[in-house]
């Protein structure tokens, strides 16, 4: 099932399928290693559920919900 990363629940694991974000943001996320095929999960959400803290490749990154909704993931 393919859903946006922002729809993932805390603790659910998923694999990155594609990233439909703006080129600048895309390049930035890619530099951190958020590449298609990578395993990702949401660790924390800030008080208003935005931003979210995601974990992948042994690191923790905070991104905003509006950027996360364009990252499509596949539940595993």
Partner 1 sequence: MEALNTVQNDCNCFSKDIRHETDNYESDYVLPSSGFATVALVGNANTGKTTLFNSLTGLRQHVGNYPGVTVSKYSGPVTLPYGKKIELVDLPGIYSLAATSPDERVVIDIFSGCMKKNGTPRPDAIVCVLDVNNLQRNLFLATQVAEFDIPIVLALNQIDVARRNNISINTELLKERFGIPVIPISARKGEGLNELKQAISDVLINKNKMKKVVWNEGTKNAIATFRAGLPSSTNKELFDVDIQRMIFDVASPFSTRLKNEDIETLGTLLKNARACIYNFGESPHSTEALQRYSFISKKLENVITYGKPRITFTSIADKFFLHRVFGILFFFAAMYGVFYSIYTLSGIPMDWIDGQFETLKEFVSSKIEDMPILNSLLVDGIISGVGGVLIFLPQILILFFFLGILESTGYMARAAFLMDKLFSWCGLNGKSFVPMLSGYACGIPGIMGARTIEDPKVRLATILVVPFMSCGARMPVYVLMCAILERLTNAQIAAATFVGMYFIGIIVSIPVALIYTKFILKAKASPFVLEMPRYQLPRAKDVLLRVLQSGWEYTRRAGTIIFAMSILIWALTYFPRSEETEKRATEDFISEQAVSKNIDKTIIENAINGSIPDSLKTEDFNSETLNESLENKINAAYIEDSYIGRFGKFCQPVFALCGFDWKITVGVLGSFPARELIVSTLGITYSLGGDVDEESDDLFEAMAKSTHNDGQLVFTIPVIIGIMVFFALCGQCLAEIVVIARETNWKWASIAWLQMTFLAWLGAVLCYQIGSLFL
Q: Which residues bind partner 1 (CB under 8 A)?
A: 19, 21-33, 35-36, 43-44, 46-48, 50-51, 53, 57-64, 67
Q: Taken in order 37, 63, 7, 54, is the CA torsion positive or negative? A: positive
Burial 4-24 (b: 16+ CB within 10 A, else e): ebbebeeeeebebeebebeee
Comparing CB distances to partner 1, the nearer of 1 and 24 is 24
Shortest Cβ distance from residue 14 to partner 1 (Å)? 18
Comparing CB distances to partner 1, the nearer of 1 and 9 is 9
């Amino acid at each position: 099932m393919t859903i946006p990363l922002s729809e993932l629940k805390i603790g659910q694991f998923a694999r990155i399928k594609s990233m439909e974000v703006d080129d600048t943001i895309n390049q930035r996320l890619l530099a951190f290693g958020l590449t298609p095929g990578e395993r990702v999960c949401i660790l924390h959400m800030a008080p208003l559920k935005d931003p979210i803290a995601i974990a992948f490749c042994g690191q923790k990154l905070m991104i905003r919900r509006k950027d996360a909704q364009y990252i499509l993931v596949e539940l595993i």
